[in-house]
Amino acid sequence: MKFGNSPSEWRHLLPRPGPDSHKHVRGRLGVVSGGALSTGAARLSARAGLRVGAGLVKVFCPPDAAPVLPPSLEAVMLASFATPEQLQALADPMDAVVIGPAAGLVESTALNLAALARTGAALVVDADALTLFRDRPEQLFAWLDRDDVLTPHEGEFERLFPGLLAAEGREGAAQEAARLAGAIVVLKGAATVIAAPDGRLAVNGDGSPWLATAGSGDVLAGMIGGLIAQHMDSFDAARAAVWIHSEAARRFGPGLISEDLPQGLPAVLADLLNGSGSV
């Protein structure tokens, strides 16, 4: 079933806090950070998760990154881990976890992903956690559930699903990839395609060229994770996040860097939730 990606299709599904809400009710998001020299991507994802409404965001980092992260993540909790088993224990209470941004193309990333797959958290798998499996995609797919989300750009997609884009085009390739992976696939681009393994498909025709900047995908991964953590259906969370991400970039315009995107989210969300403004 093919959907458009107009806010009218998913606006009513956006999470709203109630009078008795507290941070745990509003959803718990985990973000796995890279090492001390690679923490920026996790910062972007974590801040984006907070800005879309997750009540609690915790960054899980290797020990060498622990002294680096706190000064710039005032509202984010921090926990370090030295083994996949420790990461699994930390992630167990989370509703969703983002892994991949600047995680490193090293075997420990695969082991960490396997550990996360043993938790009850929905996974948003991005960047290095996708590329790492280019020669063994079936291993990745075996760890995924239907509420997990893969967020490849075209290069990452081609590494996991070689030849599909050329054979099927973007929409057909995303649908087949979702079926093969058994998870949601967000094929990023000027017209981002969101596909679910049950056949649902949405195309976001409102992409912004200002998103062509380093780190914008890390922000999107955090947004998707933040909405899923609030118990939004993963397909709907992905298509809502894609549209909101593009709209925030469109409103900012020239000079946008990825650090600007989380700060632009509250205004877009307010218009969506209030049914006002330009949306």
For 161-217, how does the pLDDT look when each residue is reduced to its tens digit (9 = 90+)?
999 999 999 999 999 999 999 999 999 999 999 999 999 999 999 899 999 999 999
Higher-confidence position of 277 and 238: 238
Task: Tell me whether residue 18 is in a domain.
Answer: no
104 annotated ligand binder? no
Task: Tell me whether residue 2 is in a domain.
Answer: no
Mean pLDDT, residues 59-69 taken together: 95
> Structural domain tally of the chain?
1
42 annotated ligand binder? no
pLDDT confidence tier of residue 19, bands split at 50, 70 and 90:
confident
Contact 187/152 with Cβ under 8 angstroms? yes
Specify the DSSP class assigned to residue 279.
-
pLDDT confidence tier of residue 234, bands split at 50, 70 and 90:
very high
Task: Tell me whether residue 87 is in a domain.
Answer: yes
20 annotated ligand binder? no
- Name the residue range of residue 64's domain: 27-273
Can you read off the two tokens belonging to residue 194?
A: 């969101």
Task: Tell me whether residue 124 is in a domain.
Answer: yes
- pLDDT tens digits for 140-149? 999 999 999 9
pLDDT confidence tier of residue 277, bands split at 50, 70 and 90:
low
Q: Name the 3-class secondary structure at 193.
A: strand
> What does R_g of the chain's alpha carbons equal in angstroms?
17
Contact 13/236 with Cβ under 8 angstroms? yes
Total residues belonging to the chain? 279
Phi, psi values for residue 132, rounded to 5°: -55, -25
pLDDT confidence tier of residue 278, bands split at 50, 70 and 90:
low
217 annotated ligand binder? yes
Distances (CA, A) of 117 to 19, 85, 121, 125: 33, 12, 8, 11
Contact 81/110 with Cβ under 8 angstroms? no
Phi, psi values for residue 149, rounded to 5°: -130, 130
- What is the distance between the alpha carbons of residues 73 and 49, in angstroms, rounded to a whole number? 12
192 annotated ligand binder? yes
Phi, psi values for residue 250, rounded to 5°: -60, -45
With 90 as the cut, is the pLDDT of residue 39 above it?
A: yes
Task: Tell me whether residue 158 is in a domain.
Answer: yes
Task: Tell me whether residue 1 is in a domain.
Answer: no
* CATH code, domain with 56: 3.40.1190.20
Specify the DSSP class assigned to residue 105.
S
pLDDT confidence tier of residue 78, bands split at 50, 70 and 90:
very high
Task: Tell me whether residue 19 is in a domain.
Answer: no
153 annotated ligand binder? yes
With 70 as the cut, is the pLDDT of residue 100 above it?
A: yes
Task: Tell me whether residue 73 is in a domain.
Answer: yes
pLDDT averaged over the chain?
96
191 annotated ligand binder? yes
pLDDT of residue 267: 98
Q: Output the pTM of the full model.
A: 0.97
pLDDT confidence tier of residue 250, bands split at 50, 70 and 90:
very high
pLDDT of residue 197: 98
- pLDDT tens digits for 149-163? 999 999 999 999 999
Can you read off the two tokens belonging to residue 226?
A: 């933040």
Residue 161's Cα: distance from chain center in Å?
Answer: 20
pLDDT of residue 150: 99
